[in-house]
Structures are given as C-alpha cells and as structure tokens.
C-alpha cells in the first residue's frame, strides 16, 4: 500500500457527449481526494485523433462544472504537471517509447491493418487466441529502426511475457491472476505517432504522481499490461481500484448505454434535474453513508467516503429514484423565490423566451395561447397518441425504420442548427421519395407532442440535441418493438443516405 500523498485523476476522452459514467467516476475520485486531503486531477485523454474534438472537451468540462465537481489541476486551470491534455504531451510519450525500444521491452511492428484483420479472422475461425501473432517481435531491432527511419509506416508494441501469469491487486477485489498467454503485445504507439491509452495513461499517471487509479471495471482486463509497463519502466505502480459500471434498467443490465437510457449529463440538465440531486444520486450508486440518510451533499459524502465501502454489484441507474431525490431537493431546499430562480437558470428566462417568441408569434391569437403552444419546450417527456404516428402509404415497420434512421443520424450530428436539421430531413425525404411534409408529420407528434406546433427544425434547435434524441428514442420504444435485424438494416440505410460523417 502506498503512503504517497493522495493524488487521483479522472481521464475522460473527449469523443462524445459528457457521460453520466464520467461524472460517476469523477465524483468518487473527487470524494476520495477530499476525504484524504489529496488532489484531484482532470486529464484529457485525446489520443484518438479521429474522434477527439475540442467541442466535446469543452462540453465535458462544462458538464462537470455544472455538477459542482471541482478539480485541482486540469487543462483549464493548469497545475504543476502541465500540460494536462495528452495531445500536448506527445514528445514525452515518444521519449518513453524510445526508452522501451532501447531496452528491448518494445519493438516496431510493420504488419499492415489488412494482415492483422486477416489474422484475426483466421484465429476467430479456428477459435485460437485472437491476439497479435507477434510476427514482428523477432525482427532485428537495428533493421527495424532502419526501415522506420526510411519512412516505412509502423507501430510500436510492448513485449508481454508469453507464459506464466500476472498477479494483480485491486483494492476492492484483492488479488487477481491472469495468464499472460491471454494477453497480446499491445500497441503502445500508433502509426500516426500518437500513443495508445495504455502507454499514455501509465506514463502520465506516473509523471503526475497519481497514487490511486480509481476507474471503471471495464479496465480490469488491461490491468496486466499497465502493471507490466510500470515494471518495464521501473516505476512503483499506484493502487488500483476498479469501480462497478453503471447499468441499464433492462433485463440484461448491460453497461449504461444511450440506446436504452439517456446517458448525457446535458440531457439531465435539460430535463430539469438539479446538479446537486444528480451528484447525490450518483453517490448512492455502490456507496451509502453510515447513517443511511440518502440525501447528502458532496461535502457530506467526502467527509466519510471510503473506497472500502463501495459495493461491487453493478448498480442500475434508476431514473425513478433520481426523480424522487430531485423532488426532495426541490421542495426541501427551495422556497418560492429560490425555486423561481432555479426555473430561470434552467430555461424559463428571457433569452429562451425570446428565441421561442418568433416561432410562436404568428400562431398566437391571444397571449394565453402561449401556454399550450410552447409547453413542450419546457418539458422532458411529451405525451402523444401512438396510433396517430403514421405516414400515409407506409406500414408501421417502415415508419419505425424512418424514426430509427433519424435517431441514428441525429446521434451522429455534432452541429445542431435548424438549417442542418432541415438539410437532413430533406435528404431523407429525397432518398425515400416522401414529401417533406409527410416525413416530418410524425416527428411533430414525437418531438412536440402535438400534430401541429411551431416549426419543427427551429423548435428542435431550441430544444437541443439531448431532448430531441430522447424523445425519438422513447417514441421508438412506445411504438416498437423493432427487431435487431430491422435496426441493423436501418443503420445500413442511414449510412447509405447520409454517409458516416456528420457535420
């Protein structure tokens, strides 16, 4: 057990919407740091060049800030171990890779993606271990270096023992053993010169003096590689503690996923949840205070938080209970004035009303029409008659396909403007031979809860991506079920119509 000063971190990768799982990890790390008078670091793991975006990074930071989870060091506030963005630390990783190469702990691999793919396919077919076959491990290092210097594309892989087993330690699970034979020579430096998670993570955790790595259970299988890297560098590894994964409320309790549940923190904000309630609720996942009181602040949690008290069963993210908790905050911690403040912070403010006004104005006969006309802007769910969701001439299945295609396309979209949405719907109308008005009709119902409302695309822009996506998903669920086969086909169709990239 380490006696070093407590330093923990959360290391999100900026590749999508701010996820409640990230907040969950952040909360437990922050509480642990606070409890032990340590530091909590936010590090951006943007080593995936294709998927990382600055917008996502901004959104993740903003979401955590909204939740009131504060970090001591990070890309925005700096700190003694800056930079805290991995894309700005490439020289450091390269240096460390060079060292492993020089010491014979790693080797250059020139295998093409095609070859690897083919190899994996063969292994799958023959049920062999599907890892890399280590073809390049035996290459002469000098020769490999020459080829690399000549510009031949390659990756660098770490050498992993070929027999015996790794003995690992997890704070909550104790000793874990894993055969080295089940682990392949992991790529640590990609062709583009970026490190993979495994390398960057270990190097940074060491350099940033991280004492405890508290992360999701999904990482447990790569722990041997990480521990091995510490060994190869001759570093003392931190204490590892793998937290259970948040689960869907479905039959299988699979890892929380947006197909089944809203996972974006932004959704919860837009749906009217209070940050203190969401944080409190996450604190109840796998942990509870000694006195059993379920309503508590971060400070109260941090005061008595112990990792040892975390339970290992994967907790189901039960929105019903979150709603109850949120209700308690609303009525116990707010008088009328404060409640109105909260409503204003949330959505009932001049800025939002002024955005909606131009859409509502042409449809108003009295000011009082405002209420029902714009109610859906200030709602989470909207009620609608499922039987009324139709497109003339289309079977229900075909209609569901359309909803599915739109849901997938909207998931892929990063930019959220009326014009962009307009373009998408027009394209879909064109591809399906439908008139735009026929195509959009069911979406009025699903998005606004009414057959006629303010203009769809502009309304969607104001409503924002999270609420729109959730409403379409819920509609799919209400109108479904959609078979897995049909869903796959819709996915294919979406790709045909829109391509893989979205603005």
Residues forming the site for RNA (CB under 7 A): 11-13, 15, 45, 47-48, 51, 111-113, 116, 120, 127, 130-132, 153, 155, 172-173, 176-179, 182, 184, 187, 190-192, 194, 196-197, 217-222, 244-245, 247, 249, 252-255, 284-288, 292, 294, 309, 311-316, 318, 320-321, 323-324, 327-328, 331
Exposed e or buried b per residue across 100-116, where buried means at least 16 C-beta atoms within 10 angstroms of its C-beta: bbeeebbbbbebeeeeb
* Distance of closest approach, residue 217 Cβ to RNA, in angstroms: 6
Q: Between 174 and 371, name the residue whose CB sits nearer to RNA.
A: 174
Q: How many Å apart are CA 257 and CA 250, to the nearest integer?
A: 11
Query: Reduced to 3 states, what is the DSSP secondary structure of residue 166?
Result: strand
Q: Between 194 and 273, name the residue whose CB sits nearer to RNA.
A: 194
* Distance of closest approach, residue 398 Cβ to RNA, in angstroms: 30
* Distance of closest approach, residue 63 Cβ to RNA, in angstroms: 16
Q: How many Å apart are CA 380 and CA 261, to the nearest integer?
A: 13
* Distance of closest approach, residue 178 Cβ to RNA, in angstroms: 5
Q: How many Å apart are CA 463 and CA 372, to the nearest integer?
A: 16
* Distance of closest approach, residue 50 Cβ to RNA, in angstroms: 7
Structure tokens at 125: 């077919």
Backbone angles phi, psi at 107, to 5 degrees: -150, 155
Looking at residue 195, the DSSP 8-state letter turns out to be B
Closest CA to 212 of 20, 67, 87, 35: 35
Q: Between 97 and 403, name the residue whose CB sits nearer to RNA.
A: 97
- As a three-state string, the secondary structure of 83-130 is CCEHHHCHHHHHHHHHHHHHCCCEEEECCCHHHHHHHHHHHHHHCCCC
Q: How many Å apart are CA 390 and CA 438, to the nearest integer?
A: 9
Q: Between 284 and 472, name the residue whose CB sits nearer to RNA.
A: 284
* Distance of closest approach, residue 460 Cβ to RNA, in angstroms: 29
Closest CA to 42 of 20, 73, 63, 14: 73
- Among residues 258, 337, 392, 488, the one annotated as catalytic is 258
Q: Between 153 and 451, name the residue whose CB sits nearer to RNA.
A: 153
- Residues ≥6 apart with Cβ < 8 Å to 345: none
Query: Reduced to 3 states, what is the DSSP secondary structure of residue 244?
Result: coil
Backbone Cα Rg of the chain: 26
* Distance of closest approach, residue 365 Cβ to RNA, in angstroms: 28
Looking at residue 247, the DSSP 8-state letter turns out to be B
* Distance of closest approach, residue 491 Cβ to RNA, in angstroms: 16
Annotated catalytic residue 258: yes
Q: Between 128 and 398, name the residue whose CB sits nearer to RNA.
A: 128
Q: Between 315 and 465, name the residue whose CB sits nearer to RNA.
A: 315
- Residues ≥6 apart with Cβ < 8 Å to 275: 66, 67, 68, 269
- Name the one residue in this structure whose structure tokens are 């460390």: 96
Give the helix/strand (H/E) hosting 178: strand 174-179
Structure tokens at 415: 């930019």
Q: What angle do CA 55, 59, 65 make, to 5 degrees?
A: 145
Tally Cβ neighbours within 10 Å of residue 439.
Answer: 20
Q: Between 146 and 309, name the residue whose CB sits nearer to RNA.
A: 309
Catalytic residue positions? 258
């Amino acid at each position: 057990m380490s006696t070093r000063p407590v330093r923990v971190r959360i290391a999100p990768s900026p590749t999508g919407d701010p996820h409640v799982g990230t907040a969950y990890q952040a909360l437990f790390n922050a509480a642990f740091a606070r409890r032990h008078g340590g530091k909590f670091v936010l590090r951006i793991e943007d080593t995936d060049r294709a998927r990382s975006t600055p917008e996502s990074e901004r959104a993740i930071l903003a979401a955590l800030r909204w939740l009131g989870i504060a970090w001591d060091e990070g890309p925005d506030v700096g700190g003694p171990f800056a930079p805290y963005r991995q894309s700005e630390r490439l020289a450091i990783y390269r240096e460390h890779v060079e060292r492993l190469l020089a010491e014979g702990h790693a080797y250059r691999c020139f295998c093409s993606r095609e070859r690897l793919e083919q190899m994996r396919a063969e292994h799958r077919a023959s049920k062999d271990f599907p890892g890399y076959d280590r073809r390049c491990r035996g290459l002469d290092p000098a020769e490999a270096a020459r080829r690399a210097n000549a510009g031949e594309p390659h990756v660098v892989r770490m050498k992993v023992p070929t027999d015996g087993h790794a003995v690992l330690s997890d704070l909550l699970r104790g000793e874990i053993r894993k055969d080295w034979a089940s682990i392949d020579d992991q790529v640590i430096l990609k062709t583009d010169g970026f490190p993979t998670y495994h390398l960057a993570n270990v190097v940074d955790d060491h350099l940033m003096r991280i004492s405890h790595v508290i992360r999701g259970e999904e990482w447990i299988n790569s722990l041997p590689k990480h521990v091995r890297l510490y060994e190869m560098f001759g570093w003392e590894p931190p204490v590892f503690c793998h937290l259970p994964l948040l689960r869907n409320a479905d039959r299988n309790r699979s890892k929380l996923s947006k197909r089944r549940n809203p996972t974006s923190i932004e959704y919860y904000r837009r749906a009217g949840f209070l940050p203190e309630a969401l944080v409190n609720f996450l604190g109840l996942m796998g942990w509870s205070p000694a006195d059993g009181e379920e309503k508590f602040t971060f400070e109260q949690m941090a005061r008595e938080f112990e990792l040892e008290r975390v339970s290992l069963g994967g907790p189901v993210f039960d929105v019903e209970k979150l709603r109850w908790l949120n209700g308690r905050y609303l009525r116990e911690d707010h008088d009328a004035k404060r409640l109105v403040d909260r409503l204003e912070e949330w959505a009932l403010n001049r800025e939002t009303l002024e955005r909606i006004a131009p859409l509502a104005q042409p449809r108003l006969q009295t000011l009082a029409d405002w209420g029902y006309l714009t109610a859906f802007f200030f709602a989470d769910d909207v009620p609608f008659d499922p039987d009324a969701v139709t497109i003339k001439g289309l079977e229900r299945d075909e209609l569901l396909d359309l909803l599915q295609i739109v849901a997938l396309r909207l998931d892929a979209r990063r930019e959220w403007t009326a014009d962009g949405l307009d373009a998408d719907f027009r394209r879909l109308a064109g591809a399906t031979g439908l008139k735009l008005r026929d195509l959009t009709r069911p979406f009025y119902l699903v998005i606004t809860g009414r057959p006629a409302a303010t203009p769809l695309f502009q309304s969607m822009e104001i409503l924002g991506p999270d609420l729109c996506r959730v409403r379409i998903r819920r509609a799919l669920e209400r109108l479904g079920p959609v078979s897995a086969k049909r869903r796959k086909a819709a996915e294919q169709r979406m790709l045909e119509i829109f391509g893989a990239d979205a603005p």
